[in-house]
């Protein structure tokens, strides 16, 4: 079972799953980031994990936010940022497939991934317990609604929440 660590969170993906860290991709680092900075005003945003389940042919776009560790993104901007990351990840995958500047090995590595027939977006947010009036920084219901509204054109059933919410809904293990 391939294990990936994001801060204090560990993900165990089932054997056979293909896991891509776009930010580590040579094409992304050499060309795509620069391309986006030059033309996008604000640059490119990438999801933490792009995961392919070969059995169901599902492409999972996963973003991780651990508010126990750092407060980087304002809650009101979380869904917007996540939707931009999903959009940019999909664009980057196709750029790797089509651009002559992408290396052959890299093209080969995403070959299977682009056989996906379904795309699912997952925003994993850990918050911990805060106070009585604000048990969590972000109301999970508000997070769920805002994420579903923003991601609707790509995944009308986009998932968001902590490990307890996600564990029965995603095919990988999460240890927080």
Partner 1 sequence: MIKQLKIKNFAVFEDADFLFSPGLNVILGENSTGKSLLMKLAYSCAWTSANIGKSDRRTKDEIQRALADKLKNVCLPDSLGRLVTRKAGRNRCEVGIDFFAGLADSFSFSFATNSDKEVRLESLTPSNWLGATPIFIPTKEVLSIFPNFASTLRERHLFFDETYLDLADTLGVAAFRKLKKEEQSLRESLEHSMLGKVAMENNRFYLFPEAEGKGKIEMPLVAEGIRKIALLSYLVMNGGLRDKSLLFWDEPEVNLNPKLITKLASTLVEMARQGVQIIIATHSLFLLREIEIARSRSDSNSQVHYIALSIRDDEVDVSQGNSIEEINPIASLDADLEQSDRYMEIM
Q: How far is the CB of 155 from partner 1 (least distance, A)?
A: 11
Length in residues, the chain: 176
Q: Per rule CB under 8 A, is residue 130 in the interface with partner 1?
A: yes
HEC-encoded secondary structure of the chain: CCEEEECCEEEECCCCCEEECHHHCHHHHHHHHHHHHHHHCCCCCCCCEEEEECCCCEEEEEEEEECCCCCCCCHHHHHHHHHHHHHHHHHHHHHHHHCCCCCHHHHHHHHCHHHCCEEEEEEEEECCCCCCCCCCCCCHHHHHHHHHHHHCCCCCCCEEECHHHHCCCCCCEEEC
Stretch that binds partner 1, among 17-25, 35-43, 47-55, 148-156 (CB under 8 A): 148-156
Task: State the nearest-atom distance from the C-beta of 134 to partner 1, in Å.
Answer: 5
Which of 26, 90, 114, 142 lies at the binding interface for partner 1 (CB under 8 A)? Answer: 142
Measure the CA angle with vertex 48, ends 51 and 10; round to 5°. 80
Distance from C-alpha of 53 to C-alpha of 61, rounded to nearest angstrom: 11
Q: Which is nearer to partner 1, 12 or 76 (CB)?
A: 76
Round to whole Å and give the CA distance between 150 and 73: 16
Is residue 149 a contact residue for partner 1 (CB under 8 A)?
yes
Among 146, 159, 161, 166, binds partner 1 (CB under 8 A): 146
Minimum Å distance from CB 114 to partner 1? 27
The distance of closest approach from Cβ of residue 142 to partner 1 in the complex, given in angstroms and rounded to an integer, is: 5
- Give the one residue of 139, 164, 167, 169 binding partner 1; rule: CB under 8 A: 139
Binding mask 64-93 for partner 1 (x = CB under 8 A): -------x--xxx-x---------------
Binding residues vs partner 1 (CB under 8 A): 71, 74-76, 78, 130, 134, 137-139, 141-142, 145-146, 148-150, 152, 156
């Amino acid at each position: 079972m391939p294990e990936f660590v994001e801060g204090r969170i560990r993900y165990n993906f089932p054997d056979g799953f293909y896991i891509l860290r776009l930010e580590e991709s040579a094409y992304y680092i050499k060309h795509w980031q620069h391309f986006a900075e030059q033309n996008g005003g604000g640059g490119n945003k990438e999801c933490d994990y792009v995961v392919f389940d070969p059995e169901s042919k599902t492409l999972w776009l996963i973003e991780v936010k651990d508010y126990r560790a750092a407060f980087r993104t304002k809650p009101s901007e979380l869904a917007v940022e996540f939707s931009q990351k999903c959009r940019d990840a999909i664009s980057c995958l196709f750029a790797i497939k089509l651009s002559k500047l992408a290396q052959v090995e890299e093209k080969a590595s995403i070959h299977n991934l682009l056989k996906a027939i379904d795309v699912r977006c997952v925003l994993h947010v850990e918050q911990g317990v805060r106070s009585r009036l604000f048990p969590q920084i972000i109301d999970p219901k508000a997070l769920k609604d805002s994420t579903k509204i923003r991601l609707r054109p790509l995944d009308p059933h986009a998932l968001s929440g902590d490990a307890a919410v996600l564990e029965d809904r995603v095919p990988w293990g999460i240890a927080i």
